Structure 1
Amino acid sequence: MRVHCLYLLLLTALPAAAQIYRYTDAHGNTAYSDQPPAGVPGQAVELAPLNRIEAPRPLTPPGVEPEQTPPSNAPAYTTLELSGVPNGGVIRANNGTFNVEVSLQPPLHNEHRLRLLLDDQPYGLPGNLPSLQLVNIDRGEHRLAVQVLDGERVVQQSPTLTFTLQRVHRP
């Protein structure tokens, strides 16, 4: 059984070591193949090694220290809260659309984005604007918070607000 597994492994690695042949066909055209040409003199082609490029490092002007990120246990923002939504209150939006504002101190860092959490689920795409819109939200009680993201990593999250959305119901 082990011999069969070894044979299959070697067989699968065979195409990676395939040779390329160059030859001139009957019409005088240069052709390439992975099989040696039959009845025509062919020449094995030596391939150059693949290029490898290292990822560039960010450039920092001389004499300037790279920006240090705060330790993970220290909050990046001293103020992070939602406004425009009364905690424990009622919002009336007949079409279910309303805006919330994000109060943030210090201002949002360039690499950070804001994302809403509606009922503990991400809502919408992350953005860098402090005014966020919710669209066509169902009536009833909801929880709302905002997160500061660095890529996919959550840097900080605001306290969660609870509110009730009222919408007109027309039968």
Structure 2
Amino acid sequence: MRGWLLIGLLIALPASAEVFTYVDAQGNRVFTDQPGLGNAKRVPLAPGNRMSANPTHAIPVIVDKKSDAAPPFHYDMLRVLVPEPDATLRSSAGELIVSITSEPGLQRGHRYRLLLDGKPTAEPGLSPVFALTNVDRGSHNLSVEILDQQGRTVERTANQPFHMLRISLAQKRQVKPCALTDFGQRPECPLKDKPEEEKKPFLKFF
């Protein structure tokens, strides 16, 4: 009971008031805010945790400002048009033309970059058409990237396979043997291999 009285008294008193205690004639412990009653002794109180409504030394709260940087641009579609996926190409010099497209079109400051087997084929540029030469025979992968002004990748396609068949000289001769008019004109038909032309018989006229 005394504990509840103490708690009630402490709540009721203002934060700056002092509390005193003494034992009365009946042996009861008495708490009061009057220091002159009996042999009252001051009760040490822990500092309160009340805060002023308008603190003068409050630490300012810093609110992070939202970044003004625009979100990265997103292309709805980016793909290789030519050659088609898994296409087989025939070229003795390993040549092919690669055409790409994007939706929407290339944005300002962006560049296309073509990758052959994961390696750039040339410097990034604005043209969606790339000419490749001397591609090794066999299977390869094409992919295309769109880079921003800082050289960061904005979009990239998945690898698209194709197969290059480079026709050898022997295969060319099998497909189209050298004719007499081809010797000296086609690399696989040197003049030294040109057969002698048949001599026309001399016709005597009477």
TM-score interval, normalised by the smaller of the two chains: 0.5 to 0.7
Residue aligning to 2:153: 154
Match in the other structure for 1:126? 124
Alignment correspondent of 2:71: 70
For residues 122 and 163 of structure 1, the distance between their equivalents in structure 2, rounded to whole angstroms, comes to: 17
Q: Which one of the candidate residues 87, 90, 95 is aligned to 1:89?
A: 87
User: Normalized per residue, which structure has more strand?
Assistant: 1
CA RMSD between the two structures = 2.0
TM-score, structure 2 as length reference: 0.46
Q: Distance in 2 between the 1:140 and 1:167 partners?
A: 9
Instruction: Name the amino acid aligned to 1:82.
Output: V
Larger radius of gyration: 2
Distance in 1, matches of 2:146 and 2:119, equals: 14
Structure 2: where are the runs of 5+ without partners?
1-68, 171-206
* Residues 98-137 of structure 1: pairs in structure 2 closer than 5 A: 98-137=96-135
Deviating 4+ runs (over 4 angstroms): none
Consecutive unaligned residues of structure 1, counting only runs of 5 or more, are 1-67
How many Å separate the matches in 2 of 1:127 and 1:153?
Answer: 14
Q: Which has the higher contact order (CA 8 A, sep 6+)?
A: 1
Distance change >3 Å, CA 131–CA 163, structure 1 → 2: same
| Partner SS for 1:163 | strand
Q: How many residues align?
A: 102
How far apart are residue 69 of structure 1 and its match?
4.2
Q: 1:1-59: per-residue Cα shift (whole Å, max 9, x none)?
A: xxxxxxxxxxxxxxxxxxxxxxxxxxxxxxxxxxxxxxxxxxxxxxxxxxxxxxxxxxx
With structure 1 as the length reference, what TM-score do the two structures score?
Answer: 0.55
Identical aligned pairs, as a percentage? 34
2:139 is paired with a residue of what secondary structure? Answer: strand
